[in-house]
Chain A
Amino acid sequence: MNVILAVKQYVSKMIEGCGGGMKVLLMDRETTSIVSMVYAQSEILQKEVYLFERIDTAGRETMKHLNCIVFLRPTKENVDLLAQELRMPKYGLYFIYFSNVISKQDVKVLAEADDQEVVREVQEFYGDYIAVNPHLFSLNLVGCCQNLTWFPPLLSRTIQGLSSVLLSLKKCPMIRFQNSSEMARRLADSIRQVINKEAALFEFRKTDVPPVLLILDRRDDAVTPLLNQWTYQAMVHELLTINNNRINLSTVLGISKDLQEVVLSAEHDEFYANNMYLNFGEIGSNIKELMEEFQKKSKSQAKVESIADMKAFVENYPQFKKMSGTVSKHVTIVGELSRLVGAHSLLEVSEAEQEIACQGDHSTLLQRIRALLANDKVRHIDLLRLVMLYALRYESHSNNDVSGLVDALKQKGISVENRTMVQAILDYGGKKGRGSDLFGNQDAVAITKRLLKGLKGVENVYTQHKPLIHTLLDQLIKGKLKEASYPYLGTGQLKDRPQDIIVFIIGGCTYEEALVVHNFNRTMPGVRIVLGGTNILNSKSFLQEVSMAIGNPSNPVQAGRTVRP
């Protein structure tokens, strides 16, 4: 149940299967991202893969002395391009791997193009998703929900992606889905169809307890992606945006040229691996330690006097160079993060956000939001998010003042399009769209819990929020997840506590949720959870997702809940 390893093993196997000698890796746009998430370029170089080419690059040079590993998604376009390539082969031999199921017809097209008999292998290796962390994957899809229903091309991509996750992990799961979501039901149905259609593929060694696939809809928890984050990975994504492990720092003032784009990969960066789930405060002290260690080392490097020193220097140089890269990277990132936190009063904003999300009295909160509205340091986007959170939380509160707050936003000079987002978030993730008790208002146990929590006080006001998925997973593991709200697809039912769980969130998941899953994996022996989403959200991409989902505001769709015949 390690998605990074799963994809990595596929790629290694491809390279192995190609034998010795110089190799070129021929990919498309998406498979390039898929491979780059699991293999560093230097790492793949040591396996004699010297060139990387895109199949859609016109006029590639002919180099017959290279063997070619082809890794492509099985799209129509790719099949055509590949057939063209085979008619006039540019490389010696071809080892072809498709990232998903390919039709017999397409195989025939390719076979008929291969007059020169250059093809040695044609296989399906199901690495059709972006592996982000060992327990986290994404499909990098934006706008899968349009007019509150599936955007068809992205539905089929999601089906392919999710089924390839199952195949790469060798899991044939029982499927549960969020009953309130039509999109979840449709995806669940489609996955079941794929499993039935490719029954031979999904025949794996039976485990005592079958794995569970739980399909959720982002609309059930619209709060989590709106919050500011304080753990390293989540915070970097929220404030600087992580895109396939890459971070664009070119907007940072006075940035040096080689730091304009940096890569944060837990697989290849030890400091990041050790700190990605820690709080911002802890990162600060850890980075100080890292600096000190580095300075110590660089000092000892500085005095190269004797031959022994020289030798030691040369021996340690590659490590030293690597370390200096790591240090400057993290120092820059953390520096930029703390600048942003200070410049935009993010601590105050975050505290208010957490209070809205978790507890708090309506009138004090209202005052607090108004105070922040008067604070000029706070960014407009943060104000908008506060009002959106408020609207979600007090949607049915008798004294709620959403319209007053929206007016205040108007006075701040926030555009109409942005102001309509407050209504949009209610249409997307408001009470009507939700299937579960997000704020714990109805359940007596939840209310007591909240009260108790209020009495005991919280450890950290900035991280008190727990995403809905925490409750759901907790219930699922204990076998208490309500069947009415999260029914099984088909007749089967799980009697034991589940062990292998794959959670998929339509509309995207967040790094905060990834941390929750990480903690479950860490603390619950015998339970393995993998989380995935159509995308990995921060507040910016979530707002985009919401506005696409709601579509044209003048023609609101009735909550997307057409009853199935």
Chain B
Amino acid sequence: MSDIIEGFLCPICMKDLGTVTQLQGHFEEEHSSEDKAVFQQLKGFFDKAKKKILGDKVEVELNQPGEATKREELRGLSGYDPSWWEDQELGAVRSHTDNFKSIRDARVNHFVVETNKLLIRLDKLLSPDAPTDPKKRKAYEKAIVRWIPDNEVPACLNCAKSFSILTRRHHCRLCGGIMCDRCSEFMASSYAQKLVNPAHSFNGEGFLKRTNSNTSLNSLVGNEGESIMRVCKTCRKLLERRDIMTELRNTKPPIVKIYDKMKLCIKEAEQIIPDYMPMVESLSQGETQYDYRQAQIMRTKLVKLYEAVDQLSKKILTFDLNSEQGVNPKQVHLQKSIRLYATNFMQENLMGLQALPTEEDYNKLRQRRTAEIQRKIAAERQAVIEAQERERSERERQEQERLMKENAVSPEDGPKPGHRRVSSGGDIQKKKLLSGKLPVNIVGTSKGHARNQSDESVGKGWKPVEDAGRVSKASDPMLQQMEIIRGYIRQAKQANRVDEVVMLEQNLRDLHTEYQRQQEVKGQAGY
């Protein structure tokens, strides 16, 4: 940060003139030929300031011709200047989602109702009190699901083959429909359990190959001793559809779990960084606004998070690469991309992560800074005194000259009190300027500088230099408010209430921007 000077600075040569009148005089003498525009602005500003001080209403001048031309010059030759275009909102959009969903739901609802019916029946069929004796079981099944009477169906409902002695009728245990043996599906009971109760663990095939036997007794026990259930193709489809959807909802592949963990770390780091950066910035300036230890803790936390991100992304990169099933090239690509994402994140944030000064260095910095501030204050005070001195002597000289002239005209007449008042008008004005927190404005002709200065006042808690300064601070309610909030932040930090600190800091930032805006508006109204 370059040196920051406060006071009645000449916007062109940055000389501190100490008082308004001297600045104006200096400007008229030295720079009037150089920069008419700045001079006009400065002059205009003083006029405004005078009016304001004297209680006049300041009319806001619109459409200043000077400003338009200035903007013109700012537009460079470069490819594209965002200031040419107004903020752009998102283009037109039109949603078909509702229409889409209503069409889909009409169709899908049917499935859902059917599936739910099947599931309720399945649950009953699987109930532990269901009889195992084949005869009784059949009666039990029939009690739950109404079986279509044999004589109503002359041919298989699926393949349309006529039933005969050889092609016997079979009933779907879930819907009671009739089909031939070839068209039957056999559902493993463990799969059925899982459908009813998702917590039930299940591996293997949900539906088994049709057994070669064509007796319906076999429908109870499959090849490997597992009980199975005869269902029709429609029911199978409905159940499988539901199974896939619940599966998708409830299970996360391991890679997603690692990924989520990584994202969590990144998110946490992203929250800490904006708090940490200003801390380092301020601490390495030797400022005392933030607590050194707390910054240290934050840094350790950040480094840990980065390490975790690095580890997890590496894990994703190599995940499942040696599996026997053969590697899916897209999956590999995906894993590489995720790793790239993580490295980009780390490069952008970790590489630029400023180290804290060591504790020893920090103490030195702090001392140096305090000394520096003391020196500056002293220098400024000196400058002000000198300037006032200069002005006084100047005025005295003029006074004397005038007196001499007056004496030459009428030697009896002494200096009239009226005269004294007129000339002291400048004095009053000067004092008011001092107390009106106007230094910022005066230098405000160069906006960048003005911002620096008020940044300074926030960053360092801008200690009141002299009485005038204290008055000025108290006079602006915004600054007062900011000071109060700063106090709160300090307290909150001591109490380690991070949330509140964040909130308060946001508050302070808002206030600060608003304050700057006001200052700029004031500054602009000046020229």
Interface residues of A (CB under 8 A from B): 1-2, 5-6, 9-10, 13, 20-22, 42, 45-46, 48, 50-51, 60-61, 63-66, 92, 101-102, 104, 107-108, 110-112, 114-117, 119-127, 133-134, 167-170, 201-202, 204, 266, 272-278, 314-315, 317-318, 521-523, 525, 528
Contact = CB atoms under 8 A, between A and B. Distances in A.
Contacts of A126: 91-93
A6 B351 CA distance: 33
Contacts of B103: 107-108, 111-112
Contacts of A318: 347-348, 351
Contact of A117 (B72, B77, B95, B104): B104
A-B complex: 5 closest residue pairs judged by Cβ atoms: A168-B91, A273-B79, A111-B103, A50-B337, A122-B96
A315 B352 contact: yes
Nearest to A43: B344
B103 to A, nearest CB: 4
B100 A107 contact: yes
Interface stretch (B21-29, B187-195, B255-263, B452-460): B255-263
A114 B97 CA distance: 13
A170 B80 CA distance: 21
Given A13-B93, A111-B107, 10 more contacts: A20-B263, A21-B259, A64-B248, A110-B100, A117-B104, A122-B95, A123-B93, A133-B79, A133-B80, A169-B91
Nearest to B259: A22
B334 A22 contact: yes
B253 A65 contact: yes
A272 B84 contact: no
A75 to B, nearest CB: 16
B321 to A, nearest CB: 15
Interface string B239-250: 001001100100
Contacts of A119: 100, 104
A10 B91 contact: yes
Contact of B100 (A1, A111, A314): A111
Contact of B107 (A112, A120, A170, A315): A112
A266 B248 contact: no
A270 to B, nearest CB: 9
B252 interface: yes
A13 B263 CA distance: 21
B91 A60 contact: no
Contact of B338 (A2, A22, A61, A167): A22
Interface in B307-360: 328-331, 333-334, 337-338, 340-341, 344-345, 347-348, 351-352
Contacts of A63: 330-331, 334
9 contacts: A6-B88, A46-B345, A64-B248, A65-B256, A122-B95, A122-B96, A318-B351, A522-B75, A528-B84
B144 to A, nearest CB: 27
Contacts of A134: 80, 85
A525 B72 contact: yes
A86 to B, nearest CB: 10
A112 B252 CA distance: 28
Contacts of B255: 65
B62 interface: no
Nearest to A53: B330
A245 B252 CA distance: 40
Q: Size class of B's contact patch?
A: 35 or more
B341 A61 contact: no
Nearest to B345: A46
Contact of B248 (A48, A92, A110, A201): A92
Nearest to A204: B92
Which one of B75, B78, B86, B252 has the highest number of Cβ atoms from chain A below 10 Å of its Cβ?
B78
B252 A124 contact: no
A457 to B, nearest CB: 24
B276 interface: no
B474 to A, nearest CB: 43
B90 interface: yes
B94 A123 contact: yes
B252 to A, nearest CB: 7
Contacts of A133: 79-80
B205 interface: no
Given A51-B330, A315-B351, A273 B80 contact: yes
Contacts of A201: 92, 94
Given A50-B341, A117-B104, A124-B96, A273 B84 contact: no
Nearest to B96: A122
B71 interface: yes
Which one of A61, A102, A122, A277 has the highest number of Cβ atoms from chain B below 10 Å of its Cβ?
A122
Which one of B79, B95, B107 has the highest number of Cβ atoms from chain A below 10 Å of its Cβ?
B79
A495 B188 CA distance: 80
B166 interface: no
A125 B93 contact: yes
Contact of A274 (B78, B89, B108, B241): B78
A521 B338 contact: no
Contacts of A523: 72
Nearest to A7: B91
Contacts of B99: 104, 107, 111, 122
A83 B373 CA distance: 72
Interface string B92-117: 11111101110110011001000000
B143 interface: no
B2 to A, nearest CB: 22
A8 to B, nearest CB: 10
A5 B86 CA distance: 11
Nearest to B244: A116
B68 interface: yes
A275 B79 CA distance: 7
A52 to B, nearest CB: 10
Contacts of B88: 1-2, 5-6, 9, 169
B104 A114 contact: yes
A45 B104 contact: no
A111 to B, nearest CB: 4
Contacts of A275: 79
A6 B94 CA distance: 15
B93 A61 contact: no
A52 B307 CA distance: 29
A528 B86 CA distance: 10
Contacts of A317: 351
Which one of B75, B263, B334, B344 has the highest number of Cβ atoms from chain A below 10 Å of its Cβ?
B334
Contacts of B245: 116-117
A51 B337 contact: yes
A129 B93 CA distance: 15
Contacts of A266: 79-80
A422 to B, nearest CB: 37
Contact of B91 (A66, A121, A170, A525): A170
A325 to B, nearest CB: 15
A51 B334 CA distance: 6
Contact of A124 (B93, B244, B328, B348): B93
B252 A65 contact: yes
Interface in B96-155: 96-97, 99-101, 103-104, 107-108, 111
A219 to B, nearest CB: 30
A48 B341 contact: yes
Contacts of B248: 64, 92
Given A61-B331, A133-B80, A10 B107 contact: no
Interface string B258-289: 01000100000000000000000000000000
B106 to A, nearest CB: 9
Contacts of B94: 101, 123-124, 201
A272 to B, nearest CB: 7
Contacts of A114: 100, 104, 108
Nearest to A203: B92
Contacts of A167: 91-92
B100 to A, nearest CB: 4
A121 B98 CA distance: 9
Interface string B65-77: 0001001100101
Interface in B215-255: 241, 244-245, 248, 252-253, 255
